[in-house]
Chain A
């Protein structure tokens, strides 16, 4: 059982380049999330998808776009990378649907370490 997988694990970009972070879960979960983790700032929610076909902004959506490709996959795109986007990015999922349930555990992927020069 793979759980939540993320690709790539590491990435170095130059300012202005674009890239897509991939996330997939094999637990048949309804809800998926993208966070960034910066030193001293905990986890900040970028975007989430409460169910297939829906996406919503989190705390820090500027500079990012997301796509819920199907129930399994939720990608995060940086259209024009900036040094301020240097961070560790985590994808997570939970059974949900998020609107009805608060007791579900979130399952996290191993993270993508992104550096923007």
Chain B
């Protein structure tokens, strides 16, 4: 079945540091890939997505590229801010599956 593996956290960075959160997946078909973010006390919200190989999703300075050859969708940001502190979830969705598969989430803390 489908699965998503995220790098284990928590991740602690200083403000303005470079961020990478690794995400790899296994799927039987050609899934769409997503990054969701969860701020403290809130539900998840979409950060970015990519729907086919080599697509790059971007939003709020975050980027991720759909790499079919390495089955990866790593999240990057060049300069993190304290306000980026949150839990980040990688997810995939396949047509016909009826549901999405989520990774376990990676907690990011950014210190001033």
Contacts and interface: CB of A to CB of B under 8 A. Distances in A.
Interface of A: 4, 31, 33, 40-43, 45, 48, 50, 56, 58, 90, 92, 98-111
Given A90-B43, A108-B43, A108-B45, A102 B97 contact: yes
Contacts, number: 66
Given A90-B43, A108-B44, A103 B98 contact: no
Interface stretch (B18-26, B77-85, B87-95): B87-95
B93 A103 contact: yes
Interface residues of B, number: 25
B51 interface: yes
Contacts of B34: 105-106
Contacts of A98: 97-99
By Cβ-Cβ distance, the 9 closest A-B pairs, closest first, are: A108-B43, A42-B104, A102-B95, A98-B98, A102-B93, A108-B44, A43-B102, A103-B51, A105-B46
A110 B38 CA distance: 10
A58 B104 contact: no
A48 B42 CA distance: 21
